[in-house]
A and B are shown apart, each in its own frame.
Chain A
Amino acid sequence: MDALTKAALLGTIRTRETPFDADSPITALVTAVADGDREWALLLQAGARAVYQAAGMIPHRRTAPLPDPAPDDDQPLCSPQAAALLDLLAREGQGPLTYDELLPEALQRLIDQGLRVPPEILPNLLSKRLDVGLRPLVRQVIGARGRWLAQFNTAWKWATPTPLADAALLPDADTIWLEGTPAQRNELLQRMRAVDAVRAREWIADAWKKERAETRAQMIQALAIDLTLADEPMLELALDDRVQAVQQQAAHLLLQLPESALSQRMIARADALLDWHDQALTITLPHTIEPDASWKRDALPDKPAQGVSHVDWLLQTTIMRVPLSHWDTRFGVAPAALVAAAAQTDRATALISGWTQAVWMEPRADWIAALWAWWQAAQAEAASVGMLRTMLQHLPSDLAEQYIQANMQQTETTQDVRWVALLDDLPRPWSASFAQTYLAVVFDWLERGEGLTVPRRQMLETLNVAALALPHAAFDLALAASPLPDLSTVPAAQQWEAVRWQRNWDVFTQTISLRHRIQKEIH
């Protein structure tokens, strides 16, 4: 600390002499002006010094070289209007408008058009709390400038160009595999798997014993890419892992290989349970229904959920791990007949649930048609919506739409509105013809009903899904006219409900117009 500050800090009563520079002309001037007053002289001296200091300010001198400037961008810029839109969508969404859900659509649109965003919105876009799944989209629209910028902020590291950018066949791929960060290694492994499946498997086998459980699970997951029977030994090894997540991951992959030993073991278990005699299915229960060691090793759950019968559980758990083709091949009976026969057994729900859950291994249209019809008829089943959803997810989009469309059109007669809950599972965007049916059914329902009833509101709330799923071709139709009843005539007691209706409708129209802007501005 300098002498002047020290004197002021301690107080002049504690310092004998005021530490002035005797040769300075300031001292002479200050002493004369202060007229013998020590404190005032000190203050004037400090004031003069402060001004001198400010006037003589020396900037910081930096010797470290500046970072390299950003390389030129060859990707064309999007329009200022598009940039303003992106900037808006990248802001934290508040309120009912679903900006977060519109961002992927806008990013994809930019990618399709080969455009990048202007520099000024990069910080906002990079800071956005993104789904990790969206990051690859963002990386494609930030241009060279964005990748350059990301190096200065560790939170944006994911957007920097990685050495992995050009496939896996880098000369130093092995080095990165051995020394990279977990995220880098995982990415590299997946790329390597796509390019050279054998080498990737060797990497896994070599590293297997040394890695943490989390990494082991990730490594097994990477085998899903280009999975073949050659991967079975590695997967069988993983089946012996002491961590359940790794075991389950391995079992999941082995089930996708019908020739694998695990698949064969499951078929053997199932065959012991189910048989076909005299145009009917028979279910034979094993002597003991307690899981044995091999059951546990195959990563099967060891007990039913509470309230589920042991037998049902055993049946469903086994059947759902056997490819559907096994049954119609083994019994020589068409799926529809098998489902009909299953419905006659006293374990109908468990058995049909098992088959439904086996759809993922082999989504066969004839099986799905038969199963769908059964669940559709089984309205009372609490699980029905979940089971319908399971199948929906494995249907090609045109088929999925066909099923839902049929249900929608029959709403009037069946009074069955389970499809409302399934709209969210349809692939987006919907087809134009599906969208048309949807709008006709829902608007008709909204327009014709009396009062603000709950079923009508359910219908209204599907607009939240539709706002994001309707294809561009249906925008005009969607916004043509409001199907809402005249809310001003609603009795006072229902006013709050009317407000809710109006808000729902407003969000729908605003979302659609935002999506319309995405189409229009990004080109």
Chain B
Amino acid sequence: MGIGLTNEQVMAMAPDAASANAGKKLAIPRTWQHVGCSDAALWGECQGSALYQVRVDLSNYGVACSCPSHKFPCKHGLGLLLLAVQSPEAVPPAEPPDWVASWLAKRAASQEKKQEQLAKPAKETANPAQQAKRAAQKATRVDQGLNTLELWLRDLVRTGLASVESESAQIWEQQAKRLVDAQAPGVAALVRQMAGIPGASPDWPRRLLDHMGRIALLIQAYRQFATADGPLLLDLPMQDEIQRRIGWTLSQEDITARGEMVDDDWLLLGQVVEQDEAHSNMLMQRTWLYGVHSQRPALILQYSVMNAPYPEVIVPGGRLLAALRFWPGAELLRARIEIRHPASPLPGDAPILLPLPGAPDIATFLQAMAERLARQPWQTQNLCLLRSVVPLCEDNGARWWLQDSHGDALPLAGDNHWKLLALTGGNPVAIAAEWDGERLRVMGVQHEGRYTLLGGNE
């Protein structure tokens, strides 16, 4: 019985390469017993160093396993999913046994509870006066934090950036910590990014200065509306945006109240997982979507601490019929899944078949990026869709490019793009990538009508 996923999609769920490999090895019918599948779930028992019971909730691909692994999903979960994809005949339709049915019931109950909480009107605001006082307190602390940061930045420029190359990495961390204490974690993250710049490339002084300059712009923009005396130069979405970048977080209720909701047929184009700069035990997952009808990109950010599962299982490579709620602001990129439509097909049953939308050439794409920057100059990652490019490899794969029919080329991040080259065979293809302003990270490629995920944990 099929479960509506492809090999690549299961691989994209793997938390790391080791789990992906281990999962592949377990995808042999013989390793499993009492395997079954219903409309709601997939289950099986895996004989490892003990007998492990693996369950998959097919409505959202939540996986649970009785093994002690901290990885999520663990290799047994991946193995069972792969088994169902590769050897559907080994997974007969059946009624879920008790240990599966009770788990499903428990999940359903907790989901209901969550839904209720979301649906509940925002908690009665405790006390308007107290709230205003707290906001004022925060504003004061942020102001102080930014003032200190400004002094430090100015000081660096006065004495010269040449000195920082010999400084220990601690100086950045110290400043960042101060900003966290001042309740400006957004700026703190920007300061942490500075640590990696000195000495990292021949043109590091220029890069460092650029980065400091952007922070200065952010501080200046914040002051422009935070101080009551100046003329109000920035509109409300821009103010939201700047506050968020400084470090104000919006409550889920705020987002519900003020964020735009867009109902569409979303293409789940790809996923990028990175370690958070500040917290080595935290992973950030960026899922890039594109609305077929609204023709707009969306970014779903999720975090995982200590290998805990992400709040929501999002399987890239297919389509999702859903309403997304966008964060209010000028960027209109970050979103969350508000309503998954029940009719939404399973990812593997809804392959991305229509010709991938996107810019016809690199110049058009860069033009669109320039317009985005004009609206919002701090966004670092964006979705890049190109309809017709050819991958190019230089020096045995040390350097990679995507080139359009005019001869324009953008460099690719990383050095292992052999799979991309193999898939295209040197013919023009449509790609989906994450653009960081300098390089592309290819997430998927459409060739011969088929969309294939690239990268991930392989």
Contacts and interface: CB of A to CB of B under 8 A. Distances in A.
Contacts of A51: 214, 217, 373, 377
A261 B370 CA distance: 85
Given A44-B217, A88-B24, A513-B29, A153 B157 contact: no
Given A63-B407, A510-B30, A44 B213 contact: yes
A55 interface: yes
A383 interface: no
Contacts of A97: 25
Residue of A9, A14, A45, A509 most packed against chain B (CB within 10 A):
A9
Contacts of A11: 157-162
A371 B158 CA distance: 94
B313 interface: no
A307 B409 CA distance: 72
Given A39-B157, A42-B157, A152-B397, A120 B210 contact: no
B93 interface: no
Contact of A13 (B28, B159, B393): B159
A43 B212 contact: yes
Given A56-B370, A70-B426, A88 B25 contact: yes
Interface in B410-434: 410-411, 416, 418-419, 421-423, 425-427
B205 to A, nearest CB: 5
Residue of A47, A56, A514 most packed against chain B (CB within 10 A):
A47
B277 interface: no
Interface in A124-144: 127
B408 A39 contact: no
Contacts of A119: 419, 422-423, 425
B422 A122 contact: yes
Interface residues of A, number: 69
Given A8-B157, A152-B397, A81 B86 contact: yes
A37 B220 CA distance: 13
Interface stretch (B120-128, B171-179, B361-369): B361-369
Report the 5 A-B pairs with minimum CB-CB distance, sorted nearest first.
Answer: A11-B160, A47-B213, A46-B213, A123-B418, A70-B425
Nearest to A80: B7
Nearest to B162: A9
Contacts of A74: none
A127 B336 CA distance: 40
Interface string A1-14: 11011001111111
Contacts of B211: 50
16 contacts: A2-B206, A4-B209, A8-B205, A9-B160, A14-B160, A37-B154, A51-B377, A55-B373, A67-B426, A85-B86, A88-B27, A120-B419, A152-B396, A154-B396, A513-B29, A513-B30
A491 interface: no
A68 interface: yes
Contact of A39 (B154, B217, B363, B421): B154
Residue of A4, A43, A63 most packed against chain B (CB within 10 A):
A43
A514 B24 CA distance: 12
Contacts of B452: 120
Contacts of A123: 416, 418-419, 422
A119 to B, nearest CB: 4
Interface string B367-401: 00110011001000000000000101100110001
Nearest to B372: A55
Given A57-B437, A60-B411, 15 more contacts: A8-B157, A39-B153, A39-B155, A43-B154, A46-B209, A51-B217, A54-B373, A59-B362, A60-B408, A66-B426, A119-B422, A122-B422, A146-B422, A153-B396, A153-B397
A10 B160 contact: yes
How big is chain B's contact interface, by range?
35 or more
A84 B7 contact: yes
A270 B369 CA distance: 88
A69 interface: yes
B28 A513 contact: yes
Interface of A: 1-2, 4-5, 8-14, 33, 37, 39-40, 42-51, 53-57, 59-63, 66-70, 80-81, 84-85, 87-88, 91, 94-95, 97, 119-120, 122-123, 127, 145-146, 148-149, 152-155, 506, 509-510, 513-514, 517
A506 B26 CA distance: 12
Interface string B53-92: 0000000000000000000000000000010001100000
Interface string B210-238: 11111111001000000000000000000
B373 A514 contact: no
Interface string B323-361: 000000000000000000000000000000000000000
Nearest to A85: B86
A517 B27 CA distance: 11
Given A43-B153, A69-B427, A80-B7, A33 B220 contact: yes
B194 to A, nearest CB: 13
Contacts of B369: 54-55, 57
Given A14-B160, A510-B28, A149 B422 contact: yes
B24 A9 contact: no
B38 interface: no
A507 to B, nearest CB: 11
Given A13-B159, A69-B425, A54 B437 contact: yes
A55 B158 contact: no
Contacts of B210: 46-47, 49-50, 53
A60 B366 CA distance: 12
A8 B209 contact: yes
B401 A60 contact: yes
B457 interface: no
A47 B216 contact: yes
B21 interface: yes
A7 to B, nearest CB: 8
B256 interface: no
